[in-house]
Structure 1
Amino acid sequence: MANSALEIVGLCLTLVGLIMSAATTGMPMWRVTAFIGENIIVFETRYEGLWMNCFRQANIRMQCKVYDSLLALSPDLQAARGLMCCSLALGGIGLLIAIVGMQCTACIHNNSRAKRMVLIIAGSMIIGSCICVIIPVSWTGHVIIRDFYNPLLIDAQRRELGEALYIGWVTSAFLFSGGCIFACCNISEDKGQDRYMYSRNSHYSAYPPQPQLLVQPQTFIQPQPLVQAQPLQRQSSIYSYDSRYPSIRSAVAYL
């Protein structure tokens, strides 16, 4: 029962993380214009995302333009595109596989071992989705901080961390929690089934040793020599045992 509740919690965390990952991928607020130094034009804000650039004027109107060429983008932006798409794919497939292996579903009947293996695979895929989210988000944040303190850049070229980066870090936390729950929620149950538990308060009594039975050596009996049977001598008689009348040979001998 406890494992079923943990699986539902892991499903909710993974679903929320998947939605936030899709929002992070589509949001253009990865890099935001920094208003520092002599830059006093504050009514216009520039956003740079994975797919487009956007300008907002006086918090009223926003205009966006898709990037013209993929090859013209920076290496970190190209890698971020691919990793975020991989994160969405792994998270979606892992979520579907986790639904198949949950105890509250009847997709796999009477095979708890198969269900556990399915959940472990789903948890591994969700953790992989978490890694695919945190790498581009952290890489982009590192590049923004490095360029911000670069003395060779002017103030207009410096950028700040956008809202999409913070959402991405929270997304990775949700996906990591959901993947760990799916991968580890049934390990304790497996160990409990394979291990035999004994009560400490039970009375232990040693099995008393049985006395060994002494076997008396058997005396050797010398075999007696075989006595050959003597052939029976046929005695002549007057009368035959098979008939009440004397036979002819007996009558002749009698005469």
Structure 2
Amino acid sequence: MESTAVQMLCVALGAIGLTGVTICSSLPEWIVRRNDTEYHYGLWMICVKNRTGAPEWKTYKDAVVPLRSDFHVAQTLITISCILSGLSLLILIFGSDFTSCVQNKNTKPKMILAAGVGLLLAGLLVIIPVSWFSTNMRNAPEGVVLGVSIYIGWTDGLLMILTGVLIWYFSRPK
């Protein structure tokens, strides 16, 4: 890459994307069902809100409702995305021109390119389950809506894809 400013920007965008994917994964806001009681389904837990009482948080182990297979797939893809984007960010930081962790000038562009590919794949791994859930919600009964985690996932998946493309574009040989 020619500019350390572009590398720093890509590190910042990748860190924002990783943080957003972690938030998307941890919030119980993937699917919201509103009836007499309000149910918030996340990847890892359910939140039940009664009209009069406080919210009640349950993991899928404690809940009566079994975990659907699409939630298992989404858990796996989002977890792999978090790990891949974290590793890609570390590779990007260590291979960047603004750090002196790697002294070999031939290795640095390859590390940066590998980080870009990793961030691109991590973004795709977020977009897949988020799009899957939104597509399945087209035929949902009334009172069932998409939660805020879906929108966070779309935004941060696209942000990581953009970061990977920027890294790839500026690290290619001239």
| Same fold per superposition (TM over 0.5) | yes
Structure 2: give runs of 5+ residues left out of the alignment: none
Over the matched positions of the two proteins, sequence identity in percent amounts to 29
Contact 2:30 2:147 in 1 (8 A): yes
Equivalent residue of 2:100, what SS?
Answer: coil
**Runs of 4+ that moved beyond 6 A:** none
Q: How many residues align?
A: 171
Q: Give the CA RMSD over aligned residues.
A: 2.0
Deviation at 1:78, TM superposition (A): 0.9
Residue 72 of structure 2 corresponds to 78
Q: Distance in 2 between matches of 1:114 and 1:30?
A: 41
Equivalent residue of 2:3, what SS?
Answer: helix
Q: Distance in 2 between matches of 1:14 and 1:146?
A: 34
Aligned with 1:121 (options 104, 110, 114) = 114
Larger Rg: 1
Residue 125 of structure 2 corresponds to 132
Residue 42 of structure 2 corresponds to 49
Residue 13 of structure 1 corresponds to 13
After superposition, the C-alpha distances for 1:129-169 in whole angstroms (9 at most, x for unaligned) are 10110001110111112234xxxxxx4xx510100000000
Structure 1: give runs of 5+ residues left out of the alignment: 149-154, 192-255
Deviation at 1:2, TM superposition (A): 5.4
Equivalent AA in structure 2 for residue 22 of structure 1: T
The alignment status of 1:164 with 2:154, answered yes or no, reads no
Q: Distance in 1 between matches of 2:8 and 2:138?
A: 39
Equivalent residue of 1:61, what SS?
Answer: coil
Deviation at 1:46, TM superposition (A): 1.2
Equivalent residue of 1:89, what SS?
Answer: helix
Contact 1:33 1:159 in 2 (8 A): yes
Equivalent AA in structure 2 for residue 100 of structure 1: F
Moved more, 96-105 or 2-11: 2-11
Change (3 A) 1:99 1:60: farther
Residue 28 of structure 2 corresponds to 28
Residue 168 of structure 2 corresponds to 183
Contact 1:53 1:65 in 2 (8 A): yes
Equivalent residue of 2:92, what SS?
Answer: helix
Q: Which has the higher contact order (CA 8 A, sep 6+)?
A: 2
Q: How does 1:173-252 map to 2 (within 5 A)?
A: 173-187=158-172, 190-191=173-174
Change (3 A) 1:52 1:99: same
